[in-house]
Chains A and B, each alone.
Chain A
Amino acid sequence: MIPALITWTVAAPALAFVLLMLPWGVGRSASEVYTARVVRWAFLSSFLAAAAALVEMLFTGVDAVVVPLGHLFSVHHHDLALTLLVDRLSLPFALLVTALCGVIGSFGYRYLHREPGYTRFFILLLLFSLGMLAVVLGGNLGLLYAGWELLGLSSALLIGFFHERAAPVKSALRAFITYRICDVALLTAAIFLHQASGSGAFDEAYLGLWPHQTSTLSPGAAGLIGLLLVVAALGKSGQLPFSGWLPRAMEGPTPSSAIFYGALSIHAGAYLLLRNAPVLDAAPAAQVLLVGVGLSTALHATLAGRAQTDVKSQLAYASMAQVGLILAEIGLGLRFLALLHVVGHATLRSLQLLRAPSALADHHQQETGAGGLLAETGRHYEALLPAGARRWLYRFAMERSYLDDALERFLLGPVVRGLEAADRAERRWISRLGRGPGEGRGDEAEP
């Protein structure tokens, strides 16, 4: 029964995605009622199937189930198996994904009422849930990578949801570029894992049951794969030095901010590392890096978050700080703690982000209840510092630790200038080569 239930958990959002795309295919747009109905039933049935699978696993005492769904392709020695893996790690995550997507969907039906991109939002939400389920239930790194790409795309498109304004579009591109950098790291890790262990399937590459799995990788291979996995996770989870995209990602609609950067997408990196924990166990350098970066990010995000002037940015930095701590826990080998931390943080932060548009109303209500102005809180640590250091620190926090400037000045700027120089050289070469007898340099307009 578990294989059928888990298959439906993934198939329901996929089917709903197709149902919402169908009207477009015949040149019509889906109505709000139709969209809401399809999405509601998809997430409800998906969640119920995952919950039923959990109940069955608890009652039958089964720890892990591999669900083979065939092969996407198989050529000579290479294939991509469509295999789902249900165990103590993936099933809680699958439940979290379906439950939170359902909640966000329910919130979105009313929140986005009469918004021009109503159906587009839900199509992207379904695409996201499909990607997230492929990440958490995928039985091999190939399938996980496919889901990882769906996450990146749906995230970028939702950040740029209000595409008529310049800022969301710029933020979406920034996020997508960061995602692609971490995609390269993940794909390279998948290649090396396949090469080193002879299989990309988790149940074959790692021995035993999660969280007590081990791997037979050599220290060198584990070190390299571990570092690549850490880079992939840092990018997806908005950690240093890739953190610049996360606060800007709040340009999207509030429900998508909640599901992506408060609840699920931001924890995809943590899931990746938990799933590949046996590699990290054999890669002390990766563990040290993870703990170091996680704690540094927590510090950076705490500082920068305290200088933010809008509630969504504050929450984005708060998420970044918590995920930094979660990654540090994973680096220290505290896997169950990290799993609990993920579930707790995802649910709390979703609630906070969904309430964010009503922050002022909530504040007034609290003041009315208290019978006057609320006392200011959160200034204890600043008070411990000398006044000069306070001003410097404030500036430092306002500038987001000068990280974005440094990346722009020392990495992105030179690369772009180099590419533009190459492009100019190409144009000059074509112009010179194609010049006819008696023609000057400007006789033909540049394209």
Chain B
Amino acid sequence: MIDALLQATVNGLIAGTILAVPAIGFSAIFAVLNYPNFAIGALAAVGAYAGWLANARFGWPLEASLVAAFAGAAAAGLAAERLAMRPLEPAGALMMAIASLAAGLVLENLIRLAFGNDPRGYALPLARDLVVGGLRVGPQQLRNLGIALAIMAAVWAFLRWTRTGRAMRAVADNRDLARLRGIDPERVAMTTVAVGAGLAGFGGLLVGVDTAAEPVMGQRLVLSIFAAAVLGGLGSIPGAVAGALAIGIVEEWSVLLLNPAYRTAIAFAVILAVLTVRPAGLFGTRAD
């Protein structure tokens, strides 16, 4: 039992680290543009397919395919933002959220139109699991973990040290003050959408490597992303990371007790519990 629990914790930490990548994207878009982008799941699927095309069709190595996943999802995210969500900004966050749901539907079905419903596997060598002290870990899992950690480090450095990253934080913190300081909110918004959607694309690739790329993968992923972001506090980037780790672990633990199909139901239960007890989440400030 202890072994099973430890194994589930290790799996959960790895899954949570991967989940943190799209959750950061969702939270960043919420922080700067101030609406929940429900297309985030479909954008992850776009990234998974862009990465799959690069890796399995064109034979790129996995690290190079990451660039394709980021670029594909960022382009799709920008197109959706420009055509569907941005024009509705005067109508309010809820209208933008509804438009993003419609945009997600369109993206998911564009994938289905082009590639069909069958799962697409990446072209990666199979490798035997490593066994360390009774715990099993796949070498590919470790590689994914390394990629996810590197992405997070890059995001952190980008937000901390680059002009654009600091402008993003300024707008998220206080839009009007940022404008007074001469930051162009439109440019910051578009950069955030590109980076946020690109992070979702990274997440899609990592999930696709672990299982396969499928049109419905976004729908499966989206509740866990929301749960991570809400648990951490909507709009908080460190919160999204902490929330994703917690969701990853709790989802894996739940499999020990419940039907694995209920994994996403756990995410929903966490959302309800957090909103009831501490709506601002672990690190958030605004919920009203």
* A and B together in one complex: no
Residues of B participating in the A interface, judged by any CB pair closer than 8 Å: none
Residues of A participating in the B interface, judged by any CB pair closer than 8 Å: none
